[in-house]
Amino acid sequence: MVESNSDRLDAVFRALADPTRRAMVRNLARQPRSVGELAEPFEISLAAASKHIKVLEGAGLVQRDVQGRTHVCRLDARPLHAGMEWMRHYEQFWNQRLDALEDLLRAEDRDDATRKPPRKPAAKPARSNRSKR
């Protein structure tokens, strides 16, 4: 089965949706780590850590090498590029929309500044609250 770019992007965002996996990616960005080292900062079992790592592997974010009985994981940041490109597109989208809104608001401010202020109605005489007797 050929995996589409959309499927890969979905896998990356799904993997990064979990705070434990994001922390693991952050740790792996510093240096390769064993499964035990990745599990250590969390109160999770090695089996739970391994499940998180498998999700990261499925997204292509982690490569695992077996050295004897030790599984060493390293970060492969290339799949993050597709996510960054996707976000960059929408950053441009929103920047364009916000720039257009800013232009409209500035034009409105200029129009308001050049208009003559409305005439104030003549002041009415104050009424007395006393009742007539």
User: pLDDT per residue over 47-90, tens digit each?
Assistant: 999 999 999 999 999 999 998 999 999 999 999 988 888 888 88
Task: Report d(CA 5, CA 11) in Å as an integer.
Answer: 10
The per-residue pLDDT for 117 is: 65
Question: Coil, strand, or helix at residue 102?
Answer: helix
Torsion-angle region of residue 60: left (phi > 0), alpha (psi -120 to 50) or beta? left
* Structural domains present in the chain: 5-77 (1.10.10.10)
Token pair of 10, please? Answer: 């979905």
- The token pair at 12 is 């990356």
Give residue 6's pLDDT.
86
pLDDT at 35 over 60: yes
pLDDT tier, 26 (very low <50, low <70, confident <90, very high otherwise)? very high
- DSSP category for residue 133: -
User: Taking the model in full, what pTM does it have?
Assistant: 0.67
What is the SS3 assignment for 116?
coil
| Side chain identity at residue 89, one-letter code | H
Helix (H, G, I), strand (E, B) or coil at 70: strand
Query: What does the pLDDT read at residue 2?
Result: 40
Q: Residue 19: what pLDDT? A: 97
Q: Which pLDDT belongs to residue 121?
A: 72
Segment 40-44 mean pLDDT: 92
Residue-averaged pLDDT of the chain? 87
